[in-house]
Amino acid sequence: MVSYHLSNSATPLNIVIRYCHGEFLPKENPAEKENNKKKNVLDAISEGRKMEAYTEHRTKDMRVCWLCETVCYKKKTGKTIGKKWICIDCLRQLKETMETFKQWEEEIALESEMKKQLDDGLGC
C-alpha cells in the first residue's frame, strides 16, 4: 500500500500517485486527454485575450471627470478642455459660475468700496 493517503495535499507527486491508482475516473485514452489539455489551454488563452480586449475596449470608453472625479462611460456627455475631460454636470456649474461672474465681481467691488468708505469715515 502506498502511503499517499497519509497526506491529502495536492502536490504534483501526490496527484501522480493518485492518478496511477485510478482515482481520477473516468479514464480517457492518452491521446484524447492530450487533446483536451491542449483545447483547455487554448480556451484559457482565448478567454484571456477576449477579456483583455474587452477591458481595453471598456477602458477606452471610460472617462473620469477632472472636477468631480466621477467615472463615466461614453454615454455621458462631457467635453475635453485642454487635456482634461469634464462631465456635463460640472460644465453646467462652471457655466453658471461664469454667467454670474460679472455680478459676483460687482458684489466684491461694492463690498471693498463700502469697506474703504467705512475706513475713510473712521479716519476723519
Which chain residues interact with Zn ion by CB under 5 A? Answer: 65, 67-68, 87, 90
Q: 15 vs 67, which CB is nearer to Zn ion?
A: 67
CB of 73 to Zn ion, least distance (A): 14
Please provide the distance, in angstroms rounded to a whole number, between the alpha carbons at the two ends of the chain: 113
Q: 52 vs 96, which CB is nearer to Zn ion?
A: 96
CB of 74 to Zn ion, least distance (A): 15
CB of 36 to Zn ion, least distance (A): 51
Q: 68 vs 114, which CB is nearer to Zn ion?
A: 68
Q: Which three cell numbers stand for residue 65?
A: 471627470
Q: Which three cell numbers stand for residue 20?
A: 496511477
- CA dihedral (107, 109, 111, 114) positive or negative: negative
Helix, coil or strand: residue 6: helix
Are 68 and 55 in contact by the 8 Å Cβ rule? The answer is no
